[in-house]
Amino acid sequence: MEIKGATCAYAISPEYLNELRRDYPKATALIVMLRAWRPYRTVGDGKTATICAYYPAENALYHAAGEFCRGLADDGRYAERLVGDVIPVRRILTDAKIAAIGENGLCATRSLGSYFAVQLVATDAFLPEGSETDPAECLHCGNCRKACPCGALPMDDPKKCLRWWLDGQEMPDWAMKGMRRLFGCELCQLACPRNASFPAIEMPKTLYGALNYGRLLAMDREERLELAALVGKNLLTRGRVQAQSLVLADRERLCVEIVAESLMHEEKEAPKSAAKYVLSKHGRS
């Protein structure tokens, strides 16, 4: 099926929700929306952060799912976007044979690799379609294990993964040392043969202004709203942007000690740990 804002979409049985099915009694179908993205090559101008390309795609798909639900509601139909940590998205994708999980813990399809965002909608406007499947099975080649800078794979402990530490908590030094882009890592995906036919692309120039280090470290309300429109409001909470921008800007040899000193007094754990890390590199505490 075709849905505006999604690269592809599937109508599957709501029974794939298993025990959560009871929470959506009106649903006759579960709509799985996928939106493709491609990793960005590292920006090399020394003043612009590279962002994990998943987040602009995920934010765009989130709003597309909302628009899809509003359109169905306007027609008098039931439609509800499924959100929250309790929704077993990966299990639903694999049970429906839309995608397959690899050793890096990520789902992949033949047509999109692991480069896609997901949104789920429960609705009474459709019935499940025929079993359209597109899983890309893991080859167990070991490439993702070799590429992981943290030794986190196979994924038996999420706290070994760099990405786990980028959600606003106090960050250990090894995580900040391994950080190369905002909000993510992507190294295991870049090494995965399931993604071999989807090479990295240049980051769109439209992102450059919002991802300037100086701007990221001193955002006013208008600039925060601009960035939120690109990546979603959630990523701008808990000091994520300040903390990660500080570490990345320091790596680019930008003068950020004054900013780091000011962040030492932050209540949020992420910017405080980033400030401590940066100042320690310059022999200060």
* 90 has pLDDT over 90: yes
- Is 128 within a domain? no
- Does 115 share its domain with 170? no
* Pairwise CA distance, residues 91 & 101, whole Å: 9
Give SS3 for 87: coil
Which pLDDT score is estimated for 149?
86
Which pLDDT score is estimated for 155?
78
- Is 135 within a domain? no
* 285 has pLDDT over 80: no
Which pLDDT score is estimated for 89?
96
Percent of the chain with pLDDT over 90: 87
Query: Phi, psi (5° rounding) for residue 284?
Result: -125, 160
- Does 19 share its domain with 117? yes
Q: Residue 237's domain spans which residues?
A: 150-184+209-281
- Does 159 share its domain with 266? yes
> DSSP string of 216-265?
HHT--HHHHHHHHHHH-SGGGSTTHHHHHHHHHHHHTT---HHHHHHHTT
Q: Is 238 left (phi over 0), alpha (psi -120 to 50) or beta?
A: left
Where are the extended beta strands (E) located within the chain?
A: 8-12, 29-36, 79-82, 100-101, 107-108, 116-123
- Does 247 share its domain with 167? yes
Is the entire prediction scored with pTM above 0.75? yes
Least trusted range by pLDDT, from 24-28, 95-99, 198-202, 232-236: 232-236
Which tens digits make up the pLDDT trace of 54-68? 999 999 999 999 999
Q: Which residues contact 29 (CB under 8 A, 6 or more apart)?
A: 11, 12, 13, 14, 122, 123, 124, 125, 126, 127, 128
Q: 113 falls in which pLDDT band (50, 70, 90)?
A: very high
Q: What is the mean pLDDT of residues 101-123?
A: 96
- Does 255 share its domain with 154? yes
* Pairwise CA distance, residues 31 & 220, whole Å: 38
Quote the number of domains for the chain: 2
- Does 157 share its domain with 103? no
Q: Which of 23-32, 84-93, 124-133, 233-242 has the highest mean pLDDT?
A: 23-32
* Pairwise CA distance, residues 47 & 239, whole Å: 20
Q: Using an 8 Å Cβ cutoff, are 49 and 213 in contact?
A: yes
- Does 252 share its domain with 169? yes
Least trusted range by pLDDT, from 157-161, 181-185, 245-249: 157-161
- Does 105 share its domain with 13? yes
Give SS3 for 36: strand
Give SS3 for 276: helix
- Is 203 within a domain? no
Which pLDDT score is estimated for 182?
95
- Does 109 share its domain with 219? no
- Is 158 within a domain? yes
Closest CA to 107 of 174, 50, 29, 188: 188
Write the burial class of residue 112 (CB in 10 Å: 0-12 exposed, 13-18 middle, 19+ buried): buried
- Is 134 within a domain? no
* 279 has pLDDT over 90: yes
